[in-house]
Amino acid sequence: MKLLNIFLPTISVIFATMVTATVSGSTSDDYCYDHELEDSICHETQSSCQVERKNDLMAEGKCYKAMM
């Protein structure tokens, strides 16, 4: 019984962390640009997307807001 009292809260914390990481990971990259060799490259902010796109010789098009 004592093992169950330790095991159950531990599993609950691990599961809650996994769900939070999945949600935050899927919404962090909002601004993307198309790339010649890849579908698109995404960044968290529009300004970082624009800087990286300007420095990328294989970039195609402008930065756009990704639809999630």
DSSP element (H, E) containing 46: helix 46-55
**Which stretches of 10-65 are assigned E, i.e. beta strand?**
31-35, 40-43, 59-65
In degrees, rounded to 5, the angle at the alpha carbon of residue 34 between the alpha carbons of residues 29 and 18 is 25
Among positive and negative, which fits the CA dihedral 28, 30, 33, 35?
Answer: positive
Q: What is the pLDDT of residues 17-56, one digit of tens each?
A: 554 444 445 556 799 999 999 889 999 999 999 999 999 9
pLDDT at 29: 75
pTM summary value: 0.54
Q: What is the pLDDT of residues 51-65, one digit of tens each?
A: 999 999 999 999 999
